[in-house]
Structure 1
Amino acid sequence: MSQSKESRIGRWYFGGLASAGAACCTHPLDLMKVHLQTQQTGKVTLPQMAVKIFRSDGVLGFYNGLSASLLRQLTYSTTRFGMYEGLKKQFPQDQALPFYQKAFLAGISGACGGFIGTPGDLVNVRMQNDIKLPPEQRRNYKHALDGIFRIVREEGISKLFGGATMATSRAVLMTIGQLSFYDQIKQTIITSGLGGDNLFTHFFSSFCAASIATMMTQPMDVMKTRMMNAPPGTFKGIGDCFFYTAKLGPAGFVPAWVRLAPHTVLTFIFFEQLRLNFGYIFMSSLVCPIHPDAHLIEDHRAGDIVCPECGLVVGDRLVDVGTEWRSFSNERSGTDPSRVGAPENPLLGSGDLSTSIQVGFGASESIQGLVNSQRRNVNNIDRQMNQGVATIREMSERIHLPRPIQDSAAKAFKDVLESKALRGRSNEAQAAACLYYACRKEGVPRTFKEICAVSSVSKKDIGKCFKLILKTMETSMDQITSADFMSRFCNNLGLPVPVQSAATRIAKKAVELDLVAGRSPISIAAAAIYMASQASSEKRSPKEIGEIAGVAEQTIRQTYKLLLSKAKELFPEDFNFHTPVEQLPIA
């Protein structure tokens, strides 16, 4: 069985779309951040700047330059997110990249994104800062594309990439701070078991990444903004701008964080929602998040994949018991009006090629008579077969039996029906006995009580039918042992692998020492689980075990007393006792 799980991976353009959506929400904060970074005195606070913008241009003033902000995100963020996701796909998808590789890929992606996004960034800064200039000095770009055309016409195409070195350097740090740290924090939360791939994990990881990115980029962000907004000749180079900025001291750090944190959080939340809902599916190998190098064990009885180190169920319900395709029938009626029929069914003697008449509401008496006549002429064995298989499917679904067990039971039901060995027995009794027979045959036995619980047939009737089935099939079966039930009982009780192993050893040794003669395998398994759990830190009461195993509490205690006298011999030598044998309960 393949040990794999389904996951979704984002498409290359999801980052740009998510960043553009976040920009629409955080643009006012970005606008105020630019104003504070370009002020010369450093004395205007964030609230004062907000009041100044509102008095000057009203509410719409906070969205001045939005088109440029969107252009920047659709060029800069699409490039860096797209490259980062694309480069990660070149590595094995079922293995987590180490942090240094994530940081390296993020740096490359950020450099490319920063360079490509420089024109949009330049127009964005100018349009946001235009409002604080005197009216006669404002550039008054109509929109982002108008700004690009005018810069090329008035200042030359090279001006579009003025400050590209600073923008690229800043983008490298920003992308490392955001993408690589976000990935690493998210991975740590999921693999440590503190959270899953959910909204809380996305929020916490992006919040931490935003704080880290702000600390890494704020000094360079201020210099980049000043160089882009300064008239030609203001600064001789990066060094001149650096010393000028250092003299003024830190400016805009608080609004930068206030703006970047919401933008980063929203970007990654939007990105993750796009990934989870519209990303493409990838089947990756299952690994234990706590012990990734452990060789996982397949528990065929329970349908689980279990880590042998810690007992964590890494994958469950491995066999899909649902339908394999949809039936596009008319859902307004209770029956399927399709007349083409299903694929040929080998369980039916007619080859499943019989035709049925479907009538609607208000059919005439003559038509209804034809329907009744046709139903009377349907092969009687096929009708019984259909009823029996439907009963088997229903019972199997209720106790979570996989499809191969259901098919085996249906095949046994057909053989019994054709042999007429169980003539006179009810269809449900035959179906229940065939299901019990199939479970035994396939090595995943269920108790008579479990089968009785999902049918209306008594244990006695099922037992009689089962004996007749064995006689009809002319076959014999291995005796049931306590080991056949141990894994399922322990999993349902939430017991770890060491306790399960100890219980299996106790039951096996007890049979070898002839301590439990005359006791059923289920009672022995329940008593062994009780003893092993009492010696461990994961204690379970006879009542809890009895509810899972279908054994009376008193029966468990009586069988346990038979084991107690030889308890030291029954436990494995390497068992880690939490409660010594001498202190185990008397019953």
Structure 2
Amino acid sequence: MPTQICSRCQTDTETVVDHKAGHELCSRCGLVLVINLFDEIPDSVEYGDETKNPVSEIENCSSFNSNDQKTAKNQSKKGFEQIKVMADGLGLTKEIQDRACDIYGEVDIMKTCRGRSISSIAAACLFIACKEIGSSRTLNEISAVADGVSKKNINRTAEAIKKQLEVESWILQPGEFIRRLCSKLGLKNRAIKAVQEAVERAQHLDIRRSPKSVLAAIIYMVIQLCQQDPVPVKDIAMVMEVTEVTIKKSFKDISVYATRVIPEWYAGEEDINKIPSP
């Protein structure tokens, strides 16, 4: 498709040809860029019993496209504003906020999430940005500041964005995130340190489970070795936002490596081998 500099858009834009009127138009705003493109151009075009002026039709089209552009800009502005409000509510850095806005802008241009609400798209973009930059927030936390958007909706929208855009896949959670989750489950500093070290060791093993599942299973194992009241599996599942079945399956895969994963300074081999199945 040919391109030209559009005086209204102030950018190099693709053009389209109105073969009936003989004009070349900006594909973005509908502005007439070239008049009388062909040698023979009709002064008017007949439509049934009515005769319409092509230039008038183009002007109407241009006006319509202009209104569409204004609507799109307003929606983008609203999305950016929602991202800022959510980021402030979670105490996130400007780096994360800016990255979320970048992702939102790409989604807006590519129309990746047609039919989804601005709030769900903004929340999903912020969720992805957190994952990329390493200041992870759970779906529960994002949903709490997302103007009523459910965790399920945010997750589905994030998956739709990931399929279309070049964004990082979910990564193994950073230390700060692990500490926050463990604290919610009542783990002390020594146990939290054991979980963090176990997660690092697990990265070098052939464990074919998602990072979140691996982390959930490791937390379960460390809790079983704690000198404190045990935490129910359902509570671990709730905090980790996984199912109890997921923890059971992940434990089965990881338990064969338990003595290599759990730090020696935290528990002996005999105790590790006695960890019960969830």
| Structures share fold, TM-score greater than 0.5 | yes
CA distance in structure 1 between the partners assigned to 2:99 and 2:138 by the alignment: 17
Q: How far is the alpha carbon of 1:384 from its aligned partner? A: 0.8
- The structure that has the greater radius of gyration is 1
Paired with 1:478 and 1:487, the residues of 2 have a C-alpha distance of: 22
* Alignment pair present for 1:406 and 2:100: no
Encode CA deviations 1:357-376: one digit per residue, 9 max, x unaligned. Answer: xxxxxxxxxxxxxxxxxxx7
* 1:504 maps to which of 188, 196, 199: 196
Aligned length: 203
Q: Aligned in 2, Cα 1:479/1:383: closer, same or farther, shift over 3 Å?
A: closer
Alignment of 1:116-195 (within 5 A): none
Of 59, 77, 86 in structure 2, the residue corresponding to residue 386 of structure 1 is: 77
* Inter-CA distance 469–513: structure 2 relative to 1 (3 Å threshold): closer
* Change in 2 beyond 3 A, CA 1:504/1:384: same
> Residue type of the partner of 2:191?
V
Q: 2:183 aligns with which of 483, 487, 491?
A: 491
Superposed counterparts of 1:457-476, under 5 Å: 457=153, 459-470=155-166
Aligned to 1:531: 221
Q: Tell me the secondary structure at the aligned position of residue 540 of structure 1.
A: coil
Matches within 5 A, 1:90-489: 379-396=70-87, 400-404=90-94, 405-417=96-108, 419-422=109-112, 424-426=114-116, 427-447=118-138, 451=142, 454=146, 455-456=149-150, 457=153, 459-470=155-166, 477=168, 480-483=171-174, 485-489=177-181
Partners of 2:107 and 2:113 within 8 A in 1: no
User: Quick one: distance in 1 between partners of 2:173 and 2:186?
Assistant: 18
* Alpha-carbon offset, residue 498 of structure 1: 1.8
Instruction: Give the match for residue 272 of structure 2.
Output: 581
Selected match of 1:551 from 242, 246, 255: 242
| Aligned-partner SS, 1:566 | helix
Compute the displacement of 1:584 (Å): 2.2
- Secondary structure of 1:536's counterpart equals coil
Displacement of 1:443 in angstroms is 1.3
Cα RMSD (Å) of the superposition? Answer: 3.2
Instruction: Give CA deviations for 1:226-248 in whole Å, capped at 9, x if unaligned.
Output: xxxxxxxxxxxxxxxxxxxxxxx
Among 251, 257, 269, the residue aligned to 1:566: 257
CA contact under 8 A between 2:112 and 2:161: conserved in structure 1? yes
Give the drift of 1:552: 0.9
Give the CA deviation at 1:450. Answer: 5.7
**Deviation at 1:378?**
9.2
User: Within 2, Cα distance between the matches of 1:491 and 1:534?
Assistant: 16
Q: Is the 8 A contact 2:135 2:174 kept in 1?
A: no
Report the secondary structure of 1:572's partner residue: coil
Matched residue SS, 2:187: coil
Q: Which has the higher contact order (CA 8 A, sep 6+)?
A: 1
Question: C-alpha displacement at 1:490, in angstroms?
Answer: 1.2
Which residue does 1:522 correspond to in 2? 212
Structure with the higher fraction of residues in helix conformation: 1
- What percent identity do the matched residue pairs reach? 28
Query: What's the CA shift for 1:423?
Result: 6.7
Distance 1:402 1:536 in 2: 32
* Alpha-carbon offset, residue 531 of structure 1: 0.5
Residue 160 of structure 1 corresponds to: none
| Alignment deviations for residues 197-222 of structure 1 (CA, whole Å, 9 cap, x no partner) | xxxxxxxxxxxxxxxxxxxxxxxxxx
Structure 1 position 526, deviation (Å):
0.8
Cα shift at 1:395? 4.0
Which digits, 9 at most, give the CA deviation of each residue in 1:255-283, with x for residues without a partner?
Answer: xxxxxxxxxxxxxxxxxxxxxxxxxxxxx
Write the distance in 1 (CA, Å) between the matches of 2:131 and 2:248.
27
5+ unaligned residues in a row in structure 2: which ranges? 1-8, 10-66
State the match for 2:12 in structure 1: none
Q: Which amino acid is 2:82 matched to?
A: T
Query: Deviations for 1:55-92, whole angstroms, at most 9, x for unmatched residues?
Result: xxxxxxxxxxxxxxxxxxxxxxxxxxxxxxxxxxxxxx
1:566–1:424 CA distance, 2 compared to 1 (3 A): closer
Q: Separation in 2 of the partners of 1:458 and 1:441?
A: 16
Structure 2 length as normaliser, TM-score?
Answer: 0.60
Relative distance call for 1:383 and 1:563 in structure 2 (3 A) is: same
Which amino acid letter does the alignment assign opposite residue 156 of structure 2?
Answer: K
Mapped contact 2:136–2:174 kept (Cα < 8 A): no
CA contact (8 A) 2:214 2:254 kept: no
Q: Does the Cα contact within 8 Å between 2:182 and 2:219 map onto a contact in 1?
A: yes
1:466 to 1:562, Cα distance in 2 relative to 1, 3 A: closer
Structure 1: which amino acid aligns with 2:133?
E
Letter in 1 for 2:189: V
Distance 1:534 1:430 in 2: 39
Deviation per CA, 1:442-464: give whole Å up to 9, x if none. 21234567656742435333311
Cα distance in 1, alignment partners of residues 68 and 267 from structure 2: 68
Q: Which amino acid aligns with 1:496?
A: K
Q: What is the Cα deviation at residue 528 of structure 1? A: 0.3
SS of 1:440's equivalent? helix
Instruction: State the TM-score, normalizing by the size of structure 1.
Output: 0.31
Residue 537 of structure 1: how far off its partner (Å): 1.5
Question: Is contact 1:502-1:572 (8 Å) kept?
Answer: yes
| Shift in CA distance, 425/448, structure 1 to aligned 2, threshold 3 Å | farther
Q: Distance in 2 between matches of 1:377 and 1:584?
A: 62
Is the contact made by 1:449 and 1:459 (CA closer than 8 Å) also made in structure 2? no
